[in-house]
Amino acid sequence: MYAGTRADDLAVKALQGLMERNPEVPLDRIDDVGIAATTQQGDQGLTLGRSVAILAGLPQTVPGFALDRMCAGAMTTASFMGAAIGAGQYDLAVAGGVEHMGRHPIGEGADPNPRFVAEKMVSPDALNMGMTAERLHDRFPELTKERADRFGMLSQQKVQAAYDRGDIQPDLVPVAFQSAQGWGVATEDEGRRPETTMEGLAQLKTPFRPHGRVTAGTASPLTDGATMSLLAGGDTAKELGLKPKMRLVSFAFAGVEPEVMGLGPVPSTEKALKKAGLSITDIGLFELNEAFAVQVLSLLDHFNIADDDPRVNQWGGAIALGHPLAATGVRLMIQLARQFEQRPDVRYGVTAMCVGLGQGGTQIWENPHFNGKKGK
């Protein structure tokens, strides 16, 4: 749908939708706008936080910046804005991300330093995310193709069920687009395939290597999209009458071998839990980015969580919705916040994701609707 739409225009629409949903916020009170993109060139360049803020109609007194942490771009802008608020330097901030993967394919224009290969620092194919997923299957034989296929199928089914209940639509911003057929309006995610079956998945090709285990059915599709979030300090939220959807408790980023970048969320989650003084058993909801099914499964196995644990990705994930790289972190936040509203029995939730070149990112959130009563 967005083939003919500029990346910065997607970000503008998301930002305008965010502010329309929060009319209590005086625009000149926003301290900063941080917008992430992985490929910062063309319509994803020109310091997106600043240029998008101007295009969206924010006062010219509001500054902005761009950031790149590949897949965890929006997660990083949200974390750093939260830290600035926690340190008393900001009262209000916007954090988001955008990725137009149709216009800017992964690695477009990249020029990796030859030392990476010459000095054997990183395998030449470590920038091929599909190959890093295949290596997880190699390293952990218990992470079978059948388990990955089933996880992918359930993701499709859970996303469609969430759509059928109307859980996802309230947070979407309609965007007009133009195609050869004329003008249209994008009102839902177009990558969903709820008819997916295990039999169909078993027949898919393994594009990353012959006789591999990663297929299009167990990987996130290439997607265009943008996300935005509004963060505020507690005092500012009370002053403006804002209703908090969740509170940032801790965040952490960690590095692993680039060749198995999918393991990144394991150490980042351990770090975030330690910083928060919590254990994995304290977490009642997980929003884990499904870059690849095997990547999520590796984290679940590490923490002894079942593949079909109801706390994990209740509404499905990126295998069905797509993963527009730098934008995804805020989508995870949005889905967790909506689930918090429905689950006052849950106090803490996690958003986590793997990141290219061997990193992981994790945020721990507290539910303001928590009523102190444990769920079943």
HEC secondary structure over 348-365? EEEEEEEECCCEEEEEEE
- Mean model confidence pLDDT for the chain: 96
In the predicted model, is pLDDT for residue 375 greater than 80?
Answer: no
In the predicted model, is pLDDT for residue 250 greater than 50?
Answer: yes
Catalytic residue numbers, as ranges: 71, 323, 354
Q: Do 267 and 256 contact (CB within 8 A), yes or no?
A: yes
Alpha carbons within 13 A on the beta-carbon side of 354: 30
Reduced to 3 states (helix: H, G, I; strand: E, B; else coil), residue 347 is: coil
Q: What is the pLDDT of residues 135-174, one digit of tens each?
A: 999 999 999 999 999 999 999 999 999 999 999 999 999 9
User: Mean pLDDT, to the nearest integer, of 367-376?
Assistant: 79
- Distance CA(293)–CA(318), nearest Å, equals 9
The closest alpha carbon to 5, from 367, 324, 362, belongs to: 324
Element holding 138 (H helix, E strand): helix 129-139
In the predicted model, is pLDDT for residue 247 greater than 60?
Answer: yes
Sorted by sequence, the CB contacts under 8 Å of residue 134 that are 6+ apart come out as 208, 209, 212, 213, 214
Q: Which two tokens stand for residue 302?
A: 């590490």
**DSSP letter (8 states) at residue 292:** B
In the predicted model, is pLDDT for residue 351 greater than 70?
Answer: yes
In the predicted model, is pLDDT for residue 324 greater than 60?
Answer: yes
Q: What is the pLDDT of residues 309-322, one digit of tens each?
A: 999 999 999 999 99
User: Mean pLDDT, to the nearest integer, of 189-217?
Assistant: 96
Q: Which two tokens stand for residue 323?
A: 């993963």
Q: pLDDT confidence of 372, banded at 50, 70, 90?
A: confident
pLDDT above 70 coverage of the chain, percent:
99
Q: pLDDT confidence of 376, banded at 50, 70, 90?
A: very low
- Distance CA(92)–CA(234), nearest Å, equals 10
Q: Would residue 211 be called left, alpha or beta, if left means φ above 0 and alpha means ψ between -120 and 50 degrees? A: left
- What sign does the dihedral 71-133-102-115 (CA atoms) show? positive
∠ at Cα 294 (277, 213), nearest 5°? 170
In DSSP terms, 230 is beta-bridged to: 94
Q: Which two tokens stand for residue 133?
A: 């997923």
Q: Give the per-residue pLDDT at 203.
A: 96
The amino acid present at 298, given as its one-letter code, is: S
Q: What is the pLDDT of residues 325-348, one digit of tens each?
A: 999 999 999 999 999 999 999 999
Query: How is 185-224 classified by DSSP, letter by letter?
Result: EE-S-S---TT--HHHHHTS--TTSTT-S--GGGBPPP-E
- Distance CA(284)–CA(305), nearest Å, equals 12
Q: What is the pLDDT of residues 170-186, one digit of tens each?
A: 999 999 999 889 999 99
In the predicted model, is pLDDT for residue 265 greater than 80?
Answer: yes
Q: Which domains does the chain have, with CATH numbers?
A: 115-171+245-366 (3.40.47.10)
- Distance CA(336)–CA(350), nearest Å, equals 8
Sorted by sequence, the CB contacts under 8 Å of residue 347 that are 6+ apart come out as 282, 284, 366, 367, 370
Q: Give the per-residue pLDDT at 374.
A: 63
Q: What is the pLDDT of residues 76-115, one digit of tens each?
A: 999 999 999 999 999 999 999 999 999 999 888 888 899 9
Q: Do 353 and 266 contact (CB within 8 A), yes or no?
A: no
